[in-house]
């Protein structure tokens, strides 16, 4: 379903792209809460914890045509819009959390398999004496 937001021209500021304003409208209350609770630096630090591959939702904040998901792009939008970027990511963390939980489960299964074949200390031959 298509989304739209009605904005006054004076509210557009220097951003005319609809995607930006739709994203802002969806999280504007959370942005206000974050501004009251965190400094911009704290918001940026929280964003750094999120893996780059999970930051695709931030691409709506990128200006121009060169919309490549990379560290430089994410760092720029995080610096320009720290609270908005954090609010957008908070809303989109479910997939990241599920992906990381699946990786942890796979890693745990691998660890359990390795531990199962590791000899116990009682089974190891004793070192030859002098």
**1: pLDDT strictly greater than 70:** no
pTM: 0.71
pLDDT digits 0-9 by tens, 34-65: 999 999 999 999 999 999 999 999 999 998 77
pLDDT digits 0-9 by tens, 10-32: 444 455 577 787 888 889 999 99
Instruction: Provide the pLDDT for residue 11.
Output: 47
pLDDT digits 0-9 by tens, 60-118: 999 877 788 999 999 999 999 999 999 999 999 998 999 999 999 999 999 999 999 99
Contact (Cβ atoms closer than 8 angstroms) between residue 46 and residue 83: no
Contact (Cβ atoms closer than 8 angstroms) between residue 74 and residue 58: yes
Instruction: Provide the pLDDT for residue 123.
Output: 63
With CA atoms as reference, report the closest residue to 57 among 73, 42, 36: 73
Instruction: Provide the pLDDT for residue 103.
Output: 95
Integer angstrom CA distances of residue 117 from 2, 86, 120: 55, 44, 9
Number of C-beta neighbours around residue 66 at 10 A: 7
Residue with tokens 């299964």: 109
């Amino acid at each position: 379903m298509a989304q739209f937001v009605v904005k006054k021209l004076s509210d557009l500021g220097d951003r005319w792209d609809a995607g930006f304003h739709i994203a802002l409208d969806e999280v504007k209350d959370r942005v206000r809460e974050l501004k009251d609770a965190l400094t911009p630096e704290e918001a940026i630090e929280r964003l750094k914890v999120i893996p780059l591959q999970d930051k695709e939702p931030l691409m709506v904040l990128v200006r121009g045509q060169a919309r490549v998901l990379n560290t430089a792009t994410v760092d720029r939008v995080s610096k320009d819009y720290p609270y908005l970027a954090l609010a957008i990511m908070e809303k989109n963390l479910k997939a990241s959390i599920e992906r990381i939980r699946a990786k942890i489960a796979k890693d745990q299964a691998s660890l359990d398999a390795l531990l199962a074949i590791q000899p116990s200390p009682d089974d190891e031959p004793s070192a030859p004496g002098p």
